[in-house]
A and B are shown apart, each in its own frame.
Chain A
Amino acid sequence: MNPFSSGTRLRDMIRAIRACKTAAEERAVVRKECASIRAAVSDNENDYRHRNLAKLMFIHMLGYPTHFGQMECLKLIAAPGFPEKRIGYLGLMLLLDERQEVLMLVTNSLKQDLNHTNQYIVGLALCALGNISSAEMARDLAPEVERLLQFRDPNVRKKAALCSIRIIKKVPDLAENFVNPVASLLKEKHHGVLLTAIQLCADLCMISEEALEYFRKKCTEGLVKVLKDAVNSPYAPEYDISGISDPFLQIRLLRILRILGHGDADASDLMNDILAQVATKTESNKNAGNAILYECVETIMSIEDSGGLRVLAINILGRFLSNRDNNIRYVALNMLMKAISIDGQAVQRHRATILECVKDSDASIRKRALELVSLLVNESNVKPLTKELIDYLEVSDNDFKGDLTVKICSIVEKLSPEKIWYIDQMLKVLCEAGNYVKDEVWHALIVVITNASNLHGYTVRALYRAIQTSGDQEAVVRVAIWCIGEYGDLLVNNIGMLDLEEPMTVTENDVVDAIEVASKRHASDLTTRSMCLVALLKLSSRFPSCSQRIKDIVTQFKGSHLLELQQRSLEFDSIIEKHQNLRSALVERMPVLDEATYSGRRAGSLPAVASTSQGNPLQLPNGVPKTVDAPLLDLLDLSADEPAPPTSSSANFLQDLLGDDILSSSSQSGRIQTQKSGTDVLLDLLSTGSPPAQNGSFTADILSISEDNNNKTTVNALNGLSSPVVTSAQRSHTSPVMDLLDGFGPNPTLPNNGPTFPPLVAFENSSLSLIFKFSKQPGSPQITQIEASFTNKSSEVYTDFIFQAAVPKFLQLHLEPASSNTLPGNGNGSITQKLRVTNNQHGKKSLVMRIRISYKLNNKDMLEEGQISNFPRDL
């Protein structure tokens, strides 16, 4: 009972599946079929085996799992008859691939079938081996295949040749065994054998240099002759395709000649004539002819130089490029990319046509053309080409804009002749397709802007105009906000006008409006909003008249559910409100960003640490110098301005905001001052997220400051401007909380000669504070005079007050007697004591000091100890 005799069952199943209206129905039918096939498999039923396998193959094509059928294939292959083997091998190729272990089991059957007397069974085995052979099978069966290359029937020889390709790809060591048999196959007349032998020859040449040399010497001439015969052969209907005799054979011959001629002048010489003939005589009105011409052009480009032929080839490409068939234009663009290295001038001649192709409606052609254009750009044509591309950007499809912007940006970055042009082009791109621009691109733009100091005004005005019109493009908004924050004053006052600019009137309020709009725009993401807040902070100093309004805007973000925004809002609000004296220094214009560093970092050659903060250990609480282990994320590092995961990086952000602007730019404040508890000012600013736990009595949390001091704010602000030192003293009487940032104010009481140092809060707890004031005699930099003044803020009187200090060996300390040993309460008066410190390693090491304060409170002995390691540098 042969199941194929009826065949209805397979048909029925296919019909049933096709009749299904829903995927669920189809699954049900398939499940039922699979169940019965499984049952047949487990019963080891013979009669329906190959019908079942056929069904399984169909089910497999629909995408259902069919692994349980794999063994059935093996059983069918092992069966003696041709029909069983035929379907068994088909199933093997369809259901298995070379990575499945089951495949190893078939090696033996394959070996038998390769030696079978029936040539069609040999053919089946060769086909299966060629399509799914693994390396092990290839090794085991290579001798059989090699022998079959000399089989009497050409149809077996051609299959064996292709099977050999698979074998040498899997096991390249075996290549040498095939060289001689192939050389004799190349002399045959049968087209199938020739086709496959040439292909095998090409693959052998790829794998083995020796094989290449061998074929080049022995076969080049013969192959040229075969090509000649093929081209000039009379009409043969069997091989004719639209008037061309066996284009497949011609193409393969051209390909093998390319391999043989590449890098060898003699071999190239042999083929010149026939290549010229193919290039001139081949009809180009049908696809087959064009395929040959295309292959021929590639061969001409690859073999050793022959000027005349190359002109011919470039002309063919020119013809292709103006063809109306999209396929032909596509391959022309493809080939021109290869031609560009050979004859750039000739390709440049087609620039206009290529640019047209960038605007084609076909995505494949656009992509090719764009690649080609980016290879064609050079210093002399960058301006017109970029203009064309940007003009096209305005009208291009959305899905092409991504590719196009990437290419335009890389062209502009690479070949920009001048900064103003760079900025102009990038602005255009950002306005058109800002949402497609990668972050690195606008980061790089900002770096370029900061470096073009004469263009700051021009740029910020252009950007201001740009966000009025293109406010929906995220990238342009970000760049504009950054620039407005930095150069807002230039925008309002029309500073640095270029001749080509039209004057515009922008008020400070307009500018703040623009940022407010951006910060509240629904589409703005966290990065943009964060940048808005920084810009507002900066503007609050640049535009004093808008300060209150800016504060209101900043305050609105206090309720933001995004931690980053909330934190920035709180911090900035406090800076605006309470630290007028500090603010202008804090929000100074950014130093020029280093282009080399930035581009280096983009290239990944530098660690992600900004150059300005490299090797600059931050003074952390208790003055313990620590190198910050996380890379400092500062404003320079534009990429770090991304919304960062919670406290740590936002802390760094402010550290650097302060660190860069104050540490490096305002020498007066020198090192940031800290208190006894060692809580760094900066860290207090930052500690909103984690309250300072170092000292229980210390409440310098910025939050509590703003609450406690609310009623004194105005006084503080006024006093802070005129005489901060006095203020701090006064306030230390009245407020239990010291304003940490007072230390930054100018210190008018110090003598003008010699370097000046700000006073240092050396120790502080809820009741007692110690302030150091420094002075130096001109001419003796090693010696520092310190005036220590103690203040008692509690209501009790301290008696038997003794201050002791100790220093390391490189310092010498001289303590003078104190003014008193009784310290009255409520801040009514203070004890002063003079210290003289000589630093033997002046300039190398900073001062450090350990202190101990002992006193009696209501006859109870009290002791305070601490270490001061945050002295100003250069003491």
Chain B
Amino acid sequence: MIHFVLLISRQGKVRLTKWYSPYSQKERSKVIRELSGTILSRGPKLCNFVEWRGFKVVYKRYASLYFCMCINQEDNELEVLEIIHHYVEILDRYFGSVCELDLIFNFHKAYYILDEVLIAGELQESSKKTVARLVATQDSLVEAAKEEANSISNIIAQATK
């Protein structure tokens, strides 16, 4: 099970946090501080696993961002690396060669996509295409609602002219 997902920039700024196990607000910031300290200081050729408080944190760096997932001791670290990559590829397709700025200004989209990839700390979909389709459908639902609201407000505006 994945206990939490963290996206941390090379400067130690948090770009996304998702907690599947209960951590209080205080614990959360402590966890982030501890992990960014250990992970950011690791050299480039080292393995992608850090043992931490009886758990393992699997991390992978993509450009300036570190994607970290915390798992149990007995979980398959190599698979989690694949899950991270899976998520990154979906982000990449969605934003069209994703960069850190995309994830800053559209952080909520990154969350929506993550929610289509993981629930309760478990993988829910192995097809990138399916995830992309589901996110796109929901985006279009939002767009439709927006247009409807606009047209209604136009009608109201015209009616009240």
A interface, CB within 8 angstroms of B: 1-2, 4-5, 11, 14, 18, 54, 57-58, 61-63, 65, 81-83, 86-87, 90, 93-94, 97-99, 120, 123, 126-127, 130-131, 155, 158-159, 162-163, 165-166, 191-192, 195-196, 199, 238-239, 241, 246-249, 251, 255, 287-288, 290-291, 294-295, 298, 326-331, 334, 361-365, 367
Residues in B whose Cβ lies below 8 Å from that of A58: 107
Residues of B near A328 (CB, < 8 A) are: 78
- Cross-chain contact B146 with A238 (CB below 8 angstroms): no
Question: B15-23, B63-71, B91-99: which one contacts chain A?
Answer: B15-23
Given A4-B146, A158-B124: A90 and B111 within 8 A (CB)? yes
If the complex has contacts A11-B105, A62-B14, A239-B127, are A159 and B138 also in contact, measured as CB distance less than 8 A? no
Find B150's partner among A5, A295, A326 (CB 8 Å cutoff): A5
- Whether the Cβ atoms of B76 and A131 lie closer than 8 Å is no
Closest chain-A Cβ to B120's Cβ sits at a distance in Å of 4
> Nearest chain A CB to B21's CB is how many angstroms away?
9
- Min CB distance B11 to A, Å, is 12
CB distance from A361 to the nearest CB of B (A): 7
Question: Which residue of A86, A90, A94, A327 contacts B78 across the interface (Cβ within 8 Å)?
Answer: A327
B46 at the interface (CB under 8 A from A): yes
Q: B119-161: contact bitstring with A at CB < 8 Å (1 yes, 0 no)?
A: 1101111111110001001100110011001100100000000
Contact check, B123 vs A195: say whether CB atoms are below 8 A apart.
yes
Q: Do B82 and A287 touch across chains, with their CB atoms under 8 A apart? A: yes
Main secondary structure, interface of A, reads helix
Closest to B128 in A: A238
Q: How far is the CB of B76 from chain A (nearest CB, A)?
A: 5
Binding site for A on B (CB under 8 A): 14-20, 22-25, 29, 42-43, 45-51, 76-79, 81-83, 86, 104-105, 107-108, 111-112, 115, 119-120, 122-130, 134, 137-138, 141-142, 145-146, 149-150, 153
Q: How far is the CA of A288 from the CA of B152 in the complex (A)?
A: 51
Whether B81 contacts A165 by the Cβ 8 Å rule is no
Give CA–CA (A63, B27) in the complex, Å: 12
CA distance A295 to B80 in the complex (A): 12
Task: Write out the residue numbers on chain B whose beta carbons fall within 8 Å of the beta carbon of A361.
Answer: 43, 45-46
Contact, CB under 8 Å: A159 / B47: no
Closest 8 A-B residue pairs measured CB to CB?
A: A291-B78, A326-B47, A162-B119, A130-B119, A130-B120, A362-B46, A248-B126, A166-B120
Q: Is the CB of B120 within 8 A of A83?
A: no
A166 to B43, CA, bound (A): 37
Residues A4 and B50 in contact, CB atoms below 8 Å apart: no
Which chain A residues lie closer than 8 Å to B16 at the CB level? 61
Interchain CA distance A156-B77 in the complex, whole Å? 28
B10 to chain A, nearest CB (A): 15
B122 touches A196 (CB 8 A): yes
Instruction: Assess A195 versus B81: contact at CB under 8 Å? Given A130-B120, A131-B119.
Output: no
Question: Bound complex: CA of A248 vs CA of B25, how far in Å?
Answer: 32
In the bound complex, what is the Cα–Cα distance between A162 and B120 (angstroms)?
6
Q: Which residue of B lies closest to A293 (CB)?
A: B78
Query: Could you tell me if A288 and B82 are in contact, using CB atoms closer than 8 angstroms?
Result: yes
In whole Å, how far is A146's beta carbon from the nearest beta carbon of chain B? Answer: 16
Q: Give the residue of B25, B82, B134 whose beta carbon is less than 8 angstroms from that of A247.
A: B82
Query: CB-CB < 8 A to A290: which residues of B?
Result: 78
Question: Which residues of chain B have C-beta atoms less than 8 A from A123's C-beta?
Answer: 134
B-chain residues with CB within 8 Å of residue A248 when the two chains form the complex: 79, 82-83, 86, 123, 126
| A132–B18 CA distance with the chains assembled, in angstroms | 11
- Interchain nearest-CB distance for B14 vs A (Å): 5
Verify B141–A61 contact, CB threshold 8 A: no
User: In whole angstroms, what is the CA distance A362 to B16 when docked?
Assistant: 27
Tell whether, in the assembled complex, residue B145 and residue A81 are in contact, meaning their CB atoms are under 8 Å apart: yes
Name the contact of B137 in the complex, choosing from A90, A93, A120 (C-beta under 8 A).
A120
CA distance A246 to B47 in the complex (A): 24
* A62 CA to B125 CA, complexed, in Å: 30
User: Within 8 Å CB of B49, what residues of A?
Assistant: 327, 330, 364
Candidates A93, A195, A367; contact of B126 at CB < 8 Å: A195
Contact of B125 with A195 in the complex, beta carbons under 8 Å: yes
Contact (Cβ within 8 A) B108 A87: yes
A5 contacts B146, C-beta separation under 8 Å: yes
Q: Which of A93, A127, A192 contacts B127 (CB 8 A)?
A: A192
Q: Is the CB of A90 within 8 A of B142?
A: no
CA–CA, A623 and B134, complex, Å: 90
